[in-house]
A and B are shown apart, each in its own frame.
Chain A
Amino acid sequence: MALISLKNVSVSFPIYGAGSASLKKTLAASVTGGRFGKETGVNVVQALHDINLELKSGDRLGLLGHNGAGKSTLLRTLAGVYEPSAGDFVRQGTVASLIDPSLGIEPDASGIENIMLRGLVMGMSRKQVEGLTAEICEFSGLGEYVNMPVRTYSTGMLMRLAFSISTSVQADILLMDEWLSVGDAEFTEKAEKRMKDVVSKSGILVLASHSPELIARECNKVVRLEHGRLVEH
């Protein structure tokens, strides 16, 4: 049973080592959308402000907003990276975060080894990863390359590997920053099918995107973030 509930949730970052607020930065703030404030001599960026959000199984939420509006921070808060600085946060169900699938790929390790590393970090046990490895290799279509160091891969191959690992587990809550689309025409088709499959099996989807068309296609709920605040769409 998947559930997400945010009540008056705020997230603010202290920014160290950035000097004091200057005119330049104040101007930048009005352009980039973050809200700069001052607190005990340290710059504080109020990334999320008073967010209220209730999601239950079957909800597909699209997050719109320009760069720096707080989309990624909201996704990371939902993933449990940032503990909110204020407010109530309740989350039930397993989470798969596809925020940045190629993060943590070791270039000197082979494809197979990277599957193990990523799998463990995604919360699987060694046994589970070993059980899934053959299927992941098969899906990635990398053939013999899975035994080669990842630094020898082309960008497309790297993306395929990352995609295949990240989408190999089923979770109740799926967090995504932009739709994952990778590789050549043939793989894109396969990947698209897999994405649809993963999304349809998940209870809740939260998808941040710059594309209103994509969100209109995939989501049944839409919110817009502006300067870290939720604006109904």
Chain B
Amino acid sequence: MSQAHSNLHRSAWADWWEGTRRTDIWWTLAWFDIVLRYRRSMLGPLWLTLSMGAMIAGMGPLYSSLFGTNLSKFFPHLTLGLIFWGLFSAMVTEGCNAFIGSAHYLKQGYFPISLFVWRSMSRNLIQFLHQIVLYIPVALWAGISLSWSALLVIPAFLLLLINAHAIGLVLGLVCTRFRDVTQIVTSLMQMLMFLTPVFWMPESLPGRARYILWNPFAQMLDLLRTPLMGGTATLHSWLGILGWTAGSLVIATLLFAKYRRRVVYWL
């Protein structure tokens, strides 16, 4: 087949940037995703806060006695664990639908696809912001004191966003082409929730099971949760996440460069 040429063709980098710089589009789309979902309910997006609050309040006392951990130590651990896991899981599973869910736009005109990954990410972030406020009363109750090292949560969060964007692009492309992958990812995330120290304490792992902490979600959770609880994340987690980030960026770049204009054909 002969080579196709088009003056609409942008380089991969220009295409990515074109989608990224239109913040007004993706932010508005994400905002409406949330607003419209709760339009007819009285409390609106506050339900996000309430249902997470109910989950934490219900699980906290039970699991702290099951694990035999002091509640003032376990409660903040569980709160941040559940809230961050909610964010990770939403970013991964909704990333699968980033393009399928925006098909009616993509089939209408030329859209740089990075736009729709930002849309799904900002929707998840809005959701997250409604839930993370729950940590404030919990931290005050547990008497957590933060040092300057808590600021390390900022670079950690940036790393999370980079990874979420890269994974969103990869899964968005792969799941549009192979529709089974969405199902695989969803069940994988359910399983990973138990392999990640969301509920349990990483210290309670016996030595030979510590390889579980190589799980990127466990490392990311360490980077984000530990500084907010007054500790410092392990070097192991930082190095691990940097490695995972490099990997996801390479795969995302390769797939994006090759298939970004192809994805419409798969919708």
Number of residues from A at the complex interface, CB < 8 A: 40
**B4-A83 in contact (CB<8A):** yes
The residues of A that contact B262 with a CB separation of less than 8 Å are: 83
A166 CB to nearest chain B CB (Å): 11
Segment of B6-14, B162-170, B231-239 engaged in the interface with chain A:
B6-14
Q: What is the bound-complex CA distance between A65 and B164, given in angstroms? A: 45
Tell me if A89 is interfacial: C-beta within 8 Å of chain B: yes
**A80-B109 in contact (CB<8A):** yes
Tell me if A135 is interfacial: C-beta within 8 Å of chain B: no
The residues of B that contact A33 with a CB separation of less than 8 Å are: none
Task: Scan residues 84-113 of chain A and give those whose CB is less than 8 A from a CB of chain B.
Answer: 84-92, 95, 97, 99-100, 103-104, 106, 108-109, 113
**A113-B32 in contact (CB<8A):** yes
**B8-A80 in contact (CB<8A):** yes
18 A–B pairs (Cβ distance < 8 Å), ordered by A = A14-B266, A17-B179, A81-B109, A82-B264, A84-B4, A85-B4, A87-B2, A89-B5, A89-B7, A89-B8, A90-B6, A104-B105, A113-B32, A116-B28, A120-B24, A121-B25, A121-B105, A126-B28
Tell me if A20 is interfacial: C-beta within 8 Å of chain B: no
The residues of B that contact A84 with a CB separation of less than 8 Å are: 4, 6
Q: What is the bound-complex CA distance between A106 and B24, given in angstroms? A: 18
Give residues in A with beta carbon < 8 Å to B: 8-9, 13-14, 16-17, 76, 79-92, 95, 97, 99-100, 103-104, 106, 108-109, 113, 116-117, 120-123, 125-126, 149
Task: Scan residues 64-105 of chain B and give those whose CB is less than 8 A from a CB of chain A.
Answer: 104-105
The residues of B that contact A87 with a CB separation of less than 8 Å are: 2, 4-5
Pick from B25, B104, B106: contact of A120, CB under 8 Å: B25
Q: What is the bound-complex CA distance between A13 and B263, given in angstroms? A: 11
**B6-A76 in contact (CB<8A):** no
**B3-A14 in contact (CB<8A):** no
**A91-B4 in contact (CB<8A):** no
The residues of A that contact B4 with a CB separation of less than 8 Å are: 9, 83-89
B128 CB to nearest chain A CB (Å): 23
Tell me if B212 is interfacial: C-beta within 8 Å of chain A: no
The residues of B that contact A117 with a CB separation of less than 8 Å are: 28-29, 32
Q: Shortest 5 CB-CB distances between A and B: which pairs? A: A80-B110, A89-B6, A83-B261, A88-B5, A108-B36
A2 CB to nearest chain B CB (Å): 13
Q: Known A76-B107, A100-B108, A126-B28; judge A14-B265 contact (CB<8 A).
A: yes
The residues of A that contact B177 with a CB separation of less than 8 Å are: 16
Q: What is the bound-complex CA distance between A99 and B18, given in angstroms? A: 23
Dominant secondary structure at the A interface = mixed
Pick from B9, B32, B40: contact of A106, CB under 8 Å: B32
Residue of B nearest to A108 (CB): B36
Pick from B6, B24, B39: contact of A126, CB under 8 Å: B24
**A106-B36 in contact (CB<8A):** yes
Q: Which of A17, A83, A103, A125 has the most CB of B within 10 A?
A: A83
Q: Known A109-B36, A117-B29; judge A103-B7 contact (CB<8 A).
A: no
Q: What is the bound-complex CA distance between A17 and B25, given in angstroms? A: 33
The residues of A that contact B261 with a CB separation of less than 8 Å are: 83
**B2-A81 in contact (CB<8A):** no
Residue of B nearest to A3 (CB): B7
B36 CB to nearest chain A CB (Å): 5
Tell me if B1 is interfacial: C-beta within 8 Å of chain A: yes
**A79-B3 in contact (CB<8A):** no
**A103-B32 in contact (CB<8A):** no
Residue of B nearest to A89 (CB): B6
Task: Scan residues 96-128 of chain B and give those whose CB is less than 8 A from a CB of chain A.
Answer: 104-110
Pick from A76, A91, A149: contact of B8, CB under 8 Å: A91
